Chains A and B, each alone.
Chain A
Amino acid sequence: MSSGADVANALQAQLDGWLRQRLPSARATTLNQRKIFIVPSKTALGLVGVIALLFLLGINFQNSLVYIISFWLLALLLLNIFYTWRNLAGLTLTAMGVEPCFAGEKAVLEVALSRPVKQTKYALELAWKGEDQVQVDLISAQTLRVKLSHSTEGRGYFKPPRLQVSTRYPTGLAVAWSYVYLDVQGLVYPNPVEKAFQPIGQSHGGTTDDGLEIAGGTSDFSGVRDYQHGDGPKRIHWAKFAQTGKLYTKTFVDYASHDLWLDWDELPMPGIEVRLSHLCRKVLDFHQEQRQYGLKLPGKVIAPGKGEAHKARCLQALALFGVVSE
């Protein structure tokens, strides 16, 4: 629409590209000369004003000591740039991981900051603009872990945007900063609906089809029951039929009847995200109730189970449903 905005966007893209090239993403990054940018701060402009005034005063009164104060402050201004730069140089950031979260919640990135042995670092600021920021000192500790949160939108992978590391230490007359692209990602689960659709998950194993076998349930054969109309031929206990002449169906039912299945196909509502949200809620509920449950998604079935690991597996499947993994 407006070509100005286009140009700005193009420039921004170019800048991002350049930054990315200059600051390649990695799990751990050590800040060095190439990666640190430094400029005088607004405070420095104020001091430059003072220096200029003092220089005028020195000229006007031909006063050597006034000159000296003026030049001393100028030297301080310049030296300070080295100090600020050093305070950032050699800092290593290591991504420790991103804790999974639900869409719309804050994803929390954990970063370990470590300093070179012989340097202490002060007033380091880590920030995602408009999201979160944290200030740390590395004095007695060699390494510190800090957590930063960032809002999420949709489910899937959360890839932290570039993280700004900056410092104004010691005098605030210069700002040194660097952008860090951390090669780490975290899962964002679908946003669970508040109240799940009731009938879902109540379905019994009796309605199972071949899909159950795929799930590896065949080895867990536990008994037989009377044949009912509609039982699949594969389920018929032919051996027993041979013995008794009566049709029996092999049951996984005793076992499966306590299991709850969260089945994508049984959800009455349309829309992928809505369905995922419902499933997510159910997973959480079942986990809460310490029940045994399985999950069926198009192309993915998770056998019934319980416990934290199982919940995580289910939620991951929901989070990554339809997401091309990298």
Chain B
Amino acid sequence: MIWLLAAQLVVMLPFLFDLPLWLLPVLVVVAWWRLRVLAGAASQPGNVVKLLLIGLGVGGLLLSGLRFPSLDAMATLLLLGFAFKSLEVVQRRDAIVVIFIGYFLVALHFLYTQSLTAALYGMVSMVVLTGVLVGVQQAITEFSTGQSVRFNLRLAVFMLLQCLPLMMVIFVFAPRIAPLWSIPLASGQTQTGMTDRMAPGDIEKLGKSDELAFRVTFKGKRPAQHELYWQGLVLNHFDGHEWRQFDRDYDVYQLKTALMSHYRWQPERMQVQGNPVAYEAVYETSGQPWLFTLSPAVEVEGDVLRGADYRVMAQEALQAPFLLKAVSYPATQRDVVLPEYLRTLALGLPSTGDQRSRELAQRLRREAGSEQVYIDKVLARFHDLAFEYTLNPPTLGDKDTIDGFLFDSKRGFCAHYAGSFVFLMRAAGIPARVVVGYQGGEWNAAGQYLAVHQYDAHAWTEVWLAGRGWVRVDPTTAVAPSRVEQGLEAAVQAEGSFLADSVLSARKMPWLNGVRQQFDAVQYGWRRWVLGYDREEQAALLKSALGDLSVGKVALFAGGLFAAIGLFWLLALGMAQRRQPEAPEHRLYRRFCEALAKRGARREPGDAPGAFAHQAAEHLPALAEVIREFTQVYEGICYAPPADGRVATRRLKTLLGKIR
């Protein structure tokens, strides 16, 4: 039973990272009590204590502010029950209930994380639970405790491994059904990655993280590195300090409403041109609905929202890795005719503030003959006045941040350049907007995919030009062209600030790079093929394997696989032979009887060996001694097995030789 407790701890451990902290002391107290019961130092808690514990648990649950019904609440409740149950494990039946809840919890944890490490840990939990299940069912007296634990665990490993082929076949063939009802997944999961607002300094924070944002596999040619602008959000509204999507904050539902009404996707407003780029992206769990695509994504597969700014957005905040298949046409002209609503959004400025910048814009615009020349002048200014691209820009205060950057500090990250550029455009009457997302990515040659990390976060701009629609302008390239050509690491190399805070990052150790990329490739394969295996993938896979998808064909195929696995099991368990191998003494005795039968002494089925020996000896006096000895040795092996049966078996063989 102590192993049951150990298994419970193994199962509960990973939850501690996701669930309220007060669970830990409760679980520790329960485990401690259980240990004392097992040691005989305490008795099973009485009903009063149990009620008290349940009350404490429920109270904690209510106080911890978990929403009902939510996954967190369900998991916490189940975990409490799981722990408390150990206080009243008396019989085998109770132990089995605990183990079954344990199996359930192992699976439940995958709703929190589906990473490869979590999956491997889950496998360990499965082995431990199964081993304990075997141990609970029967005690083998011949084994010491240590022996039986090792034996049970090894058996569990063998059994679970032998289950893998069948599990995979069921996984591939089991029908995938659409969700039946919806439970809010996690309450208050952290958000990571890009947010829907941009103040100076925001994107630098992302620039210092080497967490993965998403991975992309291209079908066909991969665009050049400097063309990889992964658009997330368009930020239209500037309040003098911060860039936001709209003039006020929208929550997810308001945003969805906007994306379905006035801010909706209107494909007729673009003229598709140029070469397509087809790709599949798998986004990491971010707790946010933003998806990142090469703009504009013309064809998109999956249940997503799209907006007037050519964004692609998930229906819900991502609580699990999300797969998107898209085809983009980067050369497409967008909004050659600009709706008034969007024009207004793209020209809005705060009524006051940043006077110097406004004056600069008007002066430069007057000097420039055309909008294009004006744009070039502004970009040239960044370059000529020795603006600096840095991950550690000085803080700018709350007021006149554009002025502060353009005229005083002249040191900034992409957000500073994009924000001030759009400000200068708008101040000169040119519709412009900030785009945030990621730029570039790391090519993984081992896995043939692009990995985009948080440090690839980037902000750039779109300017609306008559006759051309929205044109992408990245003011950062004016100061640090290497940012776009080679990535952030190269761009801030001189400064030495790349991932300066993460001393232990594997990225810092070039000799580990190969291993890191291989590992990442495995994880990506995991994401795409295991976690991403849904109804569409299933249909695609079966189609490619079977041609068409008639029910009969699929059933036949699956049936064949099941039969093959059944056969594999029979073979693996050594059950396919017709005759079970006999113990050597029984085989020799059978031959002995056959040999004697040839000489006329036939043994009737019911004859005991002793009685038969007597008869046979009478019948064959010449062999009487041999027969008697053979029988004696044989009975000796059967009824008082010697430590080493081989000596006796050899003797039987010698004697048998004499009879023949």
Contact = CB atoms under 8 A, between A and B. Distances in A.
B142 A75 contact: no
B272 interface: no
B581 interface: yes
Contact of B170 (A46, A75, A169): A75
A27 B611 CA distance: 14
Contacts of B17: none
Contacts of B97: 46
B446 interface: no
A13 to B, nearest CB: 25
A295 to B, nearest CB: 25
Interface in A82-123: 82-83, 85-86, 89-90, 92, 94, 96-97, 112, 114-119, 122-123
Nearest to B163: A75
A142 B587 CA distance: 13
Contact of B573 (A71, A86, A143, A171): A86
A169 B645 CA distance: 27
Contacts of B178: 59
Contacts of B582: 116-117
A251 interface: no
Question: Number of contact residues on B: which range applies?
Answer: 35 or more
Nearest to A139: B142
A133 to B, nearest CB: 14
A30 B606 CA distance: 15
Interface stretch (A60-68, A156-164, A229-237, A268-276): A60-68
A79 B107 CA distance: 20
Interface in B542-588: 569-570, 573-575, 580-586
Contact of B580 (A32, A63, A74): A32
Interface in B620-653: 637-639, 641, 645
Contact of A73 (B103, B122, B605): B103
Contacts of A73: 103
A89 B104 contact: no
Interface stretch (A49-57, A199-207, A217-225): A49-57
Contacts of B107: 54, 57-58, 65-66, 69-70
Interface stretch (B48-56, B133-141, B366-374): B133-141
A78 interface: yes
Contacts of A76: 130, 159-160, 163
A156 B360 CA distance: 123
A257 interface: no
Contact of A47 (B100, B114, B181, B182): B100
A89 to B, nearest CB: 7
A142 B638 CA distance: 8
Contacts of A68: 167, 171, 530
Contacts of A30: 580
Contacts of A305: none
Contacts of A112: 638-639
A158 to B, nearest CB: 16
B137 A82 contact: no
A167 to B, nearest CB: 9
Query: Which of B104, B179, B530, B569 gathers the greatest number of chain A CB atoms within 10 Å?
Result: B104
Given A70-B107, A79-B159, A137 B141 contact: yes
A26 B583 contact: no
B138 A169 contact: yes
B320 interface: yes
Contacts of B569: 79, 82
Contacts of A27: 605-606, 608
Given A46-B96, A90-B580, A65 B531 contact: yes
A171 B134 contact: yes
A21 B391 CA distance: 88
B504 interface: no
B583 A171 contact: no
A117 B583 contact: yes
Contacts of B606: 26-27, 183
A171 B133 contact: yes
A61 B111 contact: yes
Interface string B149-182: 0000001000110111011001100101111111
A63 B532 CA distance: 9
B263 interface: no
B265 interface: no
Contacts of B639: 96, 112, 143, 145
Interface string A235-248: 00000000000000
B140 A72 contact: no
Contact of A89 (B126, B133, B137, B575): B575
B638 A79 contact: no
A140 interface: yes
A40 interface: no
B170 A143 contact: no
Contacts of B531: 64-65
Contacts of A61: 111, 179, 183, 185, 320
A139 B140 contact: yes
Interface residues of A, number: 67
Query: Which of B320, B575, B584 gathers the greatest number of chain A CB atoms within 10 Å?
Result: B575
A15 interface: no
A112 B638 CA distance: 8
Given A54-B104, A69-B107, A169-B138, A142 B170 contact: no
A136 to B, nearest CB: 9
Contacts of A71: 166-167, 170-171, 174
Contacts of B400: none
Nearest to B587: A117
Interface in B490-547: 530-534
Nearest to A114: B583
A74 B142 contact: no
Nearest to B173: A71
Contacts of B320: 61-63
A65 B137 CA distance: 28
A10 interface: no
A67 B160 contact: no
B119 interface: yes
A134 interface: no
A282 interface: no
Nearest to B107: A69
B407 interface: no
Contacts of A116: 580-583
Given A61-B111, A82-B573, A119-B574, A72 B126 contact: yes
B137 A75 contact: no
A69 B138 CA distance: 25
A172 B97 CA distance: 13
Contacts of A145: 639
B259 interface: no
A168 interface: yes
Contacts of B180: 56, 59-60
A9 interface: no
B159 A66 contact: no
A174 B195 CA distance: 54
A85 B569 CA distance: 12
B110 interface: yes
Interface in A128-176: 135, 137, 139-143, 145, 168-172
29 contacts: A26-B605, A27-B606, A27-B608, A43-B96, A46-B97, A47-B100, A59-B177, A59-B178, A59-B179, A60-B183, A64-B114, A66-B111, A68-B167, A68-B530, A69-B106, A74-B166, A82-B569, A82-B570, A86-B573, A117-B582, A137-B141, A139-B143, A140-B142, A142-B641, A145-B639, A169-B138, A171-B134, A171-B137, A172-B137
Given A143-B583, A172-B137, 19 more contacts: A26-B605, A50-B103, A59-B176, A60-B180, A63-B111, A65-B118, A65-B531, A67-B174, A68-B167, A69-B103, A69-B106, A79-B162, A86-B573, A86-B574, A97-B608, A117-B581, A122-B138, A170-B159, A183-B606
The 7 closest A-B pairs by CB, nearest first: A90-B580, A75-B163, A65-B110, A172-B137, A123-B138, A69-B107, A75-B166
